[in-house]
Structure formats: structure tokens, C-alpha cells
Amino acid sequence: MTERKLTFLGTGEAFDPNRRNTSYLIETPETSIMVDCGYTAPMGLLKVLQSRQEGEAALHTAPEHLLITHLHGDHIGGINSLLVPMWENGRTRLLHVYSPPDREKVLDELMKLEYINLAQTLKQTIPLRHHTWGKEQQIGDMVVRTAHTQHSVTNYALRFDYDDGESFAISGDGGLTEESKRLFEGVNFLIHEGFTVKGESDSVHASMEDVVNFCADVGIQDVYIVHMNRHERKKKEEIKGLVHQAYDSQMHVSLPHDLDVIRL
């Protein structure tokens, strides 16, 4: 039986030369889910699959679901790099795609622009079922709920709840909102972007400092910071200071690396 786990396929922002775009692979006994698919994220997925016995051929059946938090290139620009290897490996299984409105038009345009001769073949051979995000949806063995964050386009933070009471959340991009704070309360762990290390979150991104302070206030003890600006990552002492501050509040805060794994 497949164990429940989350793999960080990438942890970087749009243009980080040392990390792939932030993306995740969630695996449970009932299903497999990829969250976000930026232009470098599929390489993380292929890396994971190739490290296993089944290798790239696993694309024939997995992932079953693709969840898109928002329509920016570093979260959706790798869709063709995901679909083409699936097609090469003979995939005919349905792929469920969950995303904001207008996603079908965006996906079609991306396919035509990047693989004009393959676009129609991909659409015919790999059936895609599009779903628009609502407040709550059942995906595999999890209930997935959503909330909006502060970002330059509509972004959906995602909360995953299992029947046994375990839960976790992924922010996508954007600053904390009252809506997203309510969504995150009570989760076992939170994965949140921290584009800057310190300062107040703005209308586009969250800061690590704001996320740590929020989690300390509501009692979230395990926090993973991703999607940090490549220049901000150089502020080692400031990052270390926030990690120690969190430790003093009995929290565990970490900045994961690509391909790190969390057991769910």
C-alpha cells in the first residue's frame, strides 16, 4: 500500500537558478496529486519517478489530479512538459485539472504555442477533465477546501483534510488574508510562501516573518517556507533569527529543498 507522503518537486520562485518552481506531489493509498506545474516543475516529477522502480512509465497512470493555485507561468507554464512525456508513455487515463476560471482557454493556448503540431494529438489521446475551484471538493481520499490570498491574480490557497483528522495546507502565492487565515487554522502543518524574509506582506506576496508570527498566534507548530526570492535567500542571519524565534515559541520552521519528503 502506498504510504501518505508529500514530495517537494520544487521550492523556488519563478526565476531561481538553483531551485525548480514551487510544486508538490501528494501520494496516498487512493490517489496521486500534483500541485502546480511551473515550467521547471515537471523535471522534478520525472526525477522522482526515475528514482523509483517503475520509472517514467508511472506517468501512464499518475498523477491522477493536477491542482493549479493560479495562472502564472511558474505555476502553470510546464503543462506541456508534463503532458508530452505522458503521451510518449502511452497515457490514456483521465487527468483531472483543478484551477481558477478560464483555465481551459489558457491551457489550449499554451499547447498551441509550444507544440503546435502536437496540440490536437495531446487533446485527443490524454483526456483532460477541467474543474473550477469551489469552496470544497472531494479529491481522492481528501476533502480540499480553498481560500483566496493577496496576489496579483486570483490565487487559491488549499487545505487538505483526511477522514482521520489529519490536515495540512498549501498557500500558493500571495499574502495572508482573513479568509486564508481561517482556512489554515488547526492544520497539522502549513506550507506557505515567504517571498521576503522580513517586513509586512504586501498585495502580491507574503513575508516569512508574517507567516511565522501568524502560526505562532494560532498554534501551528510545523511550518515550511517556500517560494522565497532568490536574493532574499542570501539573508542567512535574518532567516536564522526567525527560525530561532519560532523555536522559542515551540514551533518548527524550515526552508525545504527540492525533493524533500514529508510523511503525512
- The mean pLDDT value for 170-196 works out to 98
Read off the CATH number of the domain in which 188 is found.
3.60.15.10
The answer to whether 26 and 6 have CB atoms below 8 angstroms apart is yes
For residue 56, the model assigns a pLDDT of 79
For residue 110, the model assigns a pLDDT of 81
Range 83-95 burial, b when 16+ CB lie within 10 A, else e: bbbbbeeebeeeb
Q: Is the pLDDT of residue 2 over 80?
A: no
Residue of 47, 55, 64 lying closest to 8 (CA atoms): 47
Query: What's the CA gap between 166 and 160, in Å, rounded?
Result: 8
Q: Is the pLDDT of residue 1 over 60?
A: no
Q: Is the pLDDT of residue 104 over 80?
A: no
95: pLDDT confidence band, cut at 50, 70 and 90?
A: very high
- The mean pLDDT value for 94-104 works out to 86
Cβ-based burial of 47 (10 A; exposed 0-12, middle 13-18, buried ≥19): middle
Average model confidence (pLDDT) across the chain: 93
For residue 203, the model assigns a pLDDT of 87
Q: Which residue has the higher pLDDT, 191 or 59?
A: 191
Which bin fits 47, alpha (ψ -120 to 50), beta or left (φ > 0)?
Answer: alpha
- The mean pLDDT value for 176-198 works out to 98
The answer to whether 128 and 107 have CB atoms below 8 angstroms apart is yes
Query: What's the CA gap between 213 and 259, in Å, rounded?
Result: 27
Q: Which residue has the higher pLDDT, 191 or 92?
A: 191
Helix (H, G, I), strand (E, B), or coil: what is residue 238?
Answer: helix
Place of cell 535567500: 233
Q: Is the pLDDT of residue 105 over 80?
A: no
Out of 106-110, 131-135, 139-143, 175-179, which region has the weakest mean confidence (pLDDT)?
106-110
- The mean pLDDT value for 84-101 works out to 91
- The mean pLDDT value for 112-125 works out to 81
Torsion sign across C-alpha atoms 153, 132, 10, 158: positive
What percentage of the chain has pLDDT greater than the value 90?
Answer: 75
For residue 35, the model assigns a pLDDT of 98
The answer to whether 99 and 65 have CB atoms below 8 angstroms apart is no
**Cell reading at 123:** 487533446
SS3 content of the chain, % helix, strand, coil (to 5): 30, 25, 40
- The mean pLDDT value for 115-123 works out to 80
Task: List helix spans (H) across the chain.
Answer: 41-50, 73-76, 79-88, 103-114, 119-125, 178-184, 208-218, 236-248
Q: pLDDT per residue over 55-85, tens digit each?
A: 778 888 889 999 999 999 999 999 999 999 9
For residue 55, the model assigns a pLDDT of 77
Query: What's the CA gap between 254 and 252, in Å, rounded?
Result: 7
The domain of 136 spans 5-263
Q: Is the pLDDT of residue 7 over 70?
A: yes
Residue of 40, 42, 35 lying closest to 69 (CA atoms): 35
> What's the total number of domains in the chain?
1
